[in-house]
């Protein structure tokens, strides 16, 4: 089988696969790159994971994910920042193990409002502070921190960074080793998304482009409403063209949270998402 050379299978799309199984599915579909998640790496340990990646011949397109640093000062915040530093080291190790063209990119999800808090402005300030404190560490490790704006429906409980413009502002303020994720699922609705993609490109801040579709009706658990590109409402033409016009030339991940997709054989999911990418996204690169 062949796949588009820039297509990368994000491991969340085959959520229940071990790293070895995810690598096997990726290779079975002729895909050259994989987006790795920390949990399956932790399951086997970083050393074993880097050996698997090195042996696979695949590129690593990103490591998902760290962040979750909206908590106020105290032991929880110290622990969160420590965990982010470990994730930065993991990112560097995995990208070094990956084939040439791997990206040392760590995806960051900001975290929601602390329990019982309604101080959205304060939570956003703590994200800014955390990025500022982590940036030098990331820079010295050769890692790019990629701030991911999540859909505004997750603002309370998952990520207080809600728009691409906000993510870019945070990246610029934090320093050169911080960029942004452009994720179609989270951003497609934004009236300002195309100019903000252009702005992210002009500032050299696009660290990752992730594609998945918006399905309706939303499922009972809205976390799981993501679809294979082409199955939903998102116009991949304009979004992909906007990313391409910035000169972004990295791998492009398909990251799908969807119980039906997760229940299917990993090889089939890899092949079908690769095919969807070739049909729906690749023509606009």
Kindly list the residues in this chain that would bind a copy of itself in the complex (CB under 8 A). Answer: 113, 118-121, 124, 151-153, 155-157, 162-163, 165-166, 188-191, 214, 216-218, 220, 222, 232-235, 238
- Output 185 or 266, the one with its CB closest to a copy of itself: 185
Shortest gap between Cβ of 214 and a copy of itself (angstroms)? 6
- The answer to whether residues 63 and 38 touch, using CB atoms and an 8 Å cutoff, is yes
Shortest gap between Cβ of 42 and a copy of itself (angstroms)? 26
Say whether 207 sits in a helix, a strand or coil. strand
Shortest gap between Cβ of 40 and a copy of itself (angstroms)? 26
Shortest gap between Cβ of 245 and a copy of itself (angstroms)? 16
- Output 34 or 110, the one with its CB closest to a copy of itself: 110
φ, ψ dihedrals at 176, nearest 5°: -65, -20
Provide the 8-state DSSP code for 111.
B
Nearest to 145 by CA among 120, 117, 113, 170: 170
- Output 21 or 119, the one with its CB closest to a copy of itself: 119
Distance CA 45, CA 249 (A): 31
Say whether 161 sits in a helix, a strand or coil. coil
Shortest gap between Cβ of 57 and a copy of itself (angstroms)? 36
**What are the start-end ranges of the H helices in 60-103?**
75-97
- Output 156 or 285, the one with its CB closest to a copy of itself: 156
């Amino acid at each position: 089988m062949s796949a588009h050379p820039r297509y990368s299978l994000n491991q969340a799309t085959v959520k229940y696969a071990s790293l070895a199984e995810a690598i096997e599915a990726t290779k079975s579909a002729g895909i050259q790159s994989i987006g790795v998640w920390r949990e399956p790496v932790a399951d086997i340990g970083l050393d074993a994971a880097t050996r698997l990646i090195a042996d696979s011949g695949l590129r690593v397109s990103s490591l998902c994910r760290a962040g979750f640093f909206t908590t106020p000062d105290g032991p929880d915040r110290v622990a969160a920042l420590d965990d982010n530093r470990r994730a930065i080291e993991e990112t560097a190790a995995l990208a070094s193990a990956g084939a040439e063209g791997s990206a040392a990119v760590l995806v960051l999800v900001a975290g929601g409002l602390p329990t019982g808090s309604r101080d959205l402005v304060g939570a956003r300030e703590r994200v800014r502070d955390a990025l500022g404190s982590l940036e030098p560490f990331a820079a010295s490790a050769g890692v790019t921190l990629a701030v991911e704006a999540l859909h505004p429906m997750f603002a309370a409980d998952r990520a207080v960074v809600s728009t691409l413009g906000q993510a870019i502002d945070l990246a610029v303020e934090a320093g050169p080793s911080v960029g942004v994720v452009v994720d179609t699922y989270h951003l497609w609705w934004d009236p300002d998304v195309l100019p903000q993609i252009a702005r992210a490109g002009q500032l050299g801040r696009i660290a990752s482009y992730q594609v998945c579709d918006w399905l309706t009706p939303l499922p009972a658990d809205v976390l799981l409403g993501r679809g294979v590109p082409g199955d939903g409402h998102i116009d991949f033409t304009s979004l992909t063209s906007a990313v391409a016009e910035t000169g972004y030339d990295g791998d492009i991940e398909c990251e799908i949270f969807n119980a039906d997709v997760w229940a299917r054989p990993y090889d089939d999911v890899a092949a079908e998402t690769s095919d969807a990418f070739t049909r729906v996204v690749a023509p606009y690169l």
